[in-house]
């Protein structure tokens, strides 16, 4: 079975450009999470969706960041305009969740973003 798929794996862009990161969760999983990993701040949850609906976006750093999940098999994280401080590894994860669920999250390989 395919795991969580992320694209691109690496992205290098210039400050001010729009960046779109993509994620395909594991089939049958109904929760999707976007994380950012940096040396300074570690792993941070940016936003998560349950059944395609954004549940908590309190981790989104600012209005330049937006995320969508138009259907159960696809999500995007967009940064517009990008800034050098957005450079990080962005992970997408999915899980099969419900009330009192303890199902583990499975992570994609990550997208390494570099903003020059």
Partner 1 sequence: AQKVTQAQTEISVVEKEDVTLDCVYETRDTTYYLFWYKQPPSGELVFLIRRNSFDEQNEISGRYSWNFQKSTSSFNFTITASQVVDSAVYFCALKCDSKLTFGKGITLSVRP
Contacts with partner 1, residue ranges (CB under 8 A) = 31, 33, 42-43, 45, 48, 50, 55-56, 89, 91, 93, 97, 100-102, 104-110, 112
The minimum distance between CB 86 and partner 1, in angstroms, equals 18
- Decide whether 65 or 91 has the Cβ nearer to partner 1: 91
Q: Closest distance between partner 1 and the C-beta of residue 109, in Å?
A: 5
d(CA 92, CA 17): 21
CA dihedral (109, 22, 34, 95) positive or negative: negative
| Beta partners for residue 41, in sequence order | none
Of 20 and 37, CB closest to partner 1: 37
CB of 84 to partner 1, least distance (A): 21
State the Cα–Cα distance between residues 102 and 90, nearest whole angstrom. Answer: 23
> Which CB, 59 or 81, lies closer to partner 1?
59
Q: Do residues 53 and 32 make contact, with C-beta atoms less than 8 angstroms apart? A: no
Residue with tokens 């999915």: 94
- CA nearest 94: which of 75, 115, 80, 116? 75
User: Which residue, 6 or 82, is less far from partner 1 as judged by CB?
Assistant: 6
């Amino acid at each position: 079975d395919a795991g969580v798929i992320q694209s691109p794996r690496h992205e290098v862009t210039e400050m001010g450009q729009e960046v779109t990161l993509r994620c395909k969760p594991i089939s049958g999983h109904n929760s999707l999470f976007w994380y950012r990993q940096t040396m300074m701040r570690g792993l941070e949850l940016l936003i998560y969706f349950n059944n395609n609906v954004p549940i908590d976006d309190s981790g989104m750093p600012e209005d330049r960041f937006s995320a969508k999940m138009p259907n159960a098999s696809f999500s995007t994280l967009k940064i517009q305009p990008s800034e050098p401080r957005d450079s990080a590894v962005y992970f997408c994860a999915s899980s099969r969740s419900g009330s009192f669920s303890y199902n583990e999250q499975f992570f994609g390989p990550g997208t390494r973003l570099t903003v020059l």
